[in-house]
Amino acid sequence: MFFVMVMFKLKVSLGKNLHRSICWLNPKTATDLGISEGDIIIDSDYMICPLRVEYYDLVREGEIALPTTIMFRLGAYAGEERYFKKIDNIIDANRVVFYVVGEIMDWVQYYREANDFYVVLDDLIPVSPRVSVRVVDIENGETGHVYRVSKNTQVDLLFSGPMNLAIIIDGSKDMLKMWGKNRKIDLAREISNVLLEYNLRKAVNCAIFSIAEDVDILLNWISIDPKLRWFMTKLIPRFVTDMIISPSEETRLDIALEYVVESFKKKNLGQKALNSLLVIMARDPSFNERKIKNIFNEFKEVSNGVWRTIWVGIGNQKFENLKEIADIFGGKFISSRTPMGLYKKCRELADFRFVDRGWW
């Protein structure tokens, strides 16, 4: 594929203080250069930060006004002369991977409001002062090419930032049964320690619920002070082995999910931080597809359309119902034939890296 790029020199000036990949040109300057409003240009030396052209009469002829964030990214300063290129051939991206750090809702709002935007490999997208978004990968992407991200693009999202974390742990007597040489409850503690040690450092609110035929509150939505997060990573996994085990063999996961979603609503969670859910089961729960889908729709609404869930089955069962529930929520399902295999899989997902599909 051949790419045509027209290069030209402009003097840099400071524009409006916006977190957007745009630039401003005087209409006469743009016309003289053969550039129309809405065209995409890029710094010819660094080939980063594709910029959408907007007309602005107050920009002097022969100059380009840039937002502060773009000047910082380019290492540009006011009065400097820079070479830019007009991009005449833009590739529609089929699949991209973004890594979001910070307040995820700023990114979600930006993505939902934008009809399309333009990126290059390993670029940073200016969104807001509270979030950083990096282009990790573009399917079949090549350096020096500009790609259009639209609603037709499959977006996979990596995320590291503030989250609300709800933990549901099986409290039935199945937890006391042996799997291999270990009790399931002891394995649950080890698994929760692996899955929570890293993530509790980012949790702003946390709750733990035990389930059998009913729901018991082990920890009722505490706000985790940043200074205490390391302490909480050691304390919270102890709730698993210190909880009271029910004599019941029944595990009503649907009731627990309803309770968790209702608590999300009451606490008004999901407006800034990412709502995350960790479910650890010692036996496959009963399953009503219609009811679970209704619960999921409520969870989606209260989470502002973006969430993360992990579902763990402890034992050598197939956990078909738990897997189907995980599929409905779009989350990660983990099970294994051996305790060591389960521990290894949990270790691989220990940082809850991907946001569940469906967030867009």
- Bridge partners of 53? 23
- Residue 128 is encoded by which pair of tokens? 């807001």
Walk me through the domains of the chain, giving residue ranges and CATH numbers. Answer: 5-87 (2.40.40.20), 91-160 (3.10.330.10), 163-348 (3.40.50.410)
Strand, coil or helix: what is 75? coil
Q: Dihedral of CA 163/330/299/188: which sign?
A: negative
Residue 89 has pLDDT above 80, yes or no: yes
Residue 319 has pLDDT above 70, yes or no: yes
Residue 4 has pLDDT above 50, yes or no: no
φ and ψ at 267, to 5 degrees?
-85, -5
- Residue 237 is encoded by which pair of tokens? 């996994």
In terms of pTM, does the model score above 0.75?
yes
- Residue 182 is encoded by which pair of tokens? 């270990």
Instruction: Convert the pLDDT of each residue in 110-166 to its tens digit.
Output: 999 998 999 999 999 999 999 999 999 999 999 889 999 999 999 999 998 899 999
* pLDDT, mean over the chain: 90
- Fill in the DSSP letter of residue 108: H
Instruction: Convert the pLDDT of each residue in 201-232 to its tens digit.
Output: 788 899 999 998 888 888 889 888 777 666 76
